[in-house]
Each structure stands twice: as C-alpha cells, then as structure tokens.
Amino acid sequence: MHVAIAPAAPDLGLLADALSIPILAQHVDNRPAGPSTGWLVPEELLASGGRGSLVNHSEHPLAPIEMALTVERLTEVGLCSVVCAREEQEATLFSQTARPAYLAVEPPELIGGKVSVSRARPEVISHSVLAVRRGSPATHVLCGAGVQDAEDVRKALELGAEGILVASAVTKASDPEKALRGLISGFVSRR
C-alpha cells in the first residue's frame, strides 16, 4: 500500500525533506522553466522534492487539452500525475488522451460531503474503472469524493478502484491520525 500527501505549495519542500512518503503538489502549471513568476512549474516541484501533482481537481479545473499537456510535462520531468475526473465520460476522455499514472473519479457535488461516491453513485466508479482499463490499462483508478471510513474504502475496492483520494475526512476530523488509520484499515481488512 502507498500513501502520499498533497500539502499547500509553501509546505512542499519542507515536507519532502521531513517525510519518507511521496509529496504531491495540489496543482502544477504547464509553463516552461525559467521566467514563470507566480506559477508552479514541474521543474520547481521536482527541485523541491515533490514526486508529482494533482491535475484538474474540481477546485482548479483545466481545459482537457491543458490537462493533457500538463500530464505530458509532468511525465517528461519524471513526475507522477493524479488526474481528477468528474464522471465516466471524463475518465474515458482523460485516460485515452493523457494516460496519467493515476485517475481519481470525484463527482464535485460529493466532494467534502458525508456520503461517498462509492455509496451514492457506485456506478460512476465501476463504469469509470472499465473505461480507464480500456483506454489506458496502466492507469490506476482512485475513488474520491466523500470517502469517510474503512467501509467506503472497501466498497471502492469492490467496485474496482485501486485506492482513494481524500482530504476532508482527514483534515476536518477531530483526530486526523485516527481518521487516517481508519481509512487505511479498509485496505488492510480486505486482504
């Protein structure tokens, strides 16, 4: 099992130095290295110790061509991409055009909520998994949006996802470590 975190940009280098797990950016810009004041370019992310980036999160969406070019730039520099898709149609398009390392299926209306996509709309996960496997067999599918506990993790895995993408279940928890351990137990208890 692998765990990575995507902290705020100012913390990338500090956490990459302090932790042994992969550190991802929450967003990276498809800009050339050099005169790019105000942008986070892949080369800067790599130099800070980052290992990859989320791309196209619902809070920072990109046009499909920009998303594909950003994934291409990350790959060229040797960084991992975790592309976010809202539903099966985007999962199909993104897996065929960008072939990211990871694709997280996250219906925006469920992000930050108390009901996981694996419970509210399980077909979004299962259909997206099939679409991604057809379009880019090497891409790993993650389940995001509303994942709260070990049961949500188990259900996502049953639907074909290989992992999860979470934020609020941990960051809003009164005991974030306990919340994270609870989520991880969903993977362990499945073995």
Active-site residue flag, 57: yes
Please state whether beta strands 24-25 and 52-55 pair in parallel, antiparallel, or not at all (unpaired).
Answer: parallel
Q: Are 63 and 14 in contact (CB under 8 A)?
A: no
The tally of CA atoms less than 13 A away on the side-chain side of residue 124 is: 22
Active-site option among 44, 90, 106, 127 = 106
Active-site residue flag, 106: yes
| Per-residue tokens: 75 | 């790959």
Residue 64 exposed, middle or buried by CB count within 10 Å (0-12, 13-18, 19+): middle
Active-site option among 43, 44, 57, 127 = 57
Conformational region of residue 69, where left means phi above 0, alpha means psi within -120 to 50, and beta covers everything else: alpha
Q: What does the DSSP assignment read for 52-94?
A: EEEES-TTS---HHHHHHHHHHHHHHT-EEEEEESSHHHHHHH
Distance CA 54, CA 42 (A): 12
Active site residues: 57, 106
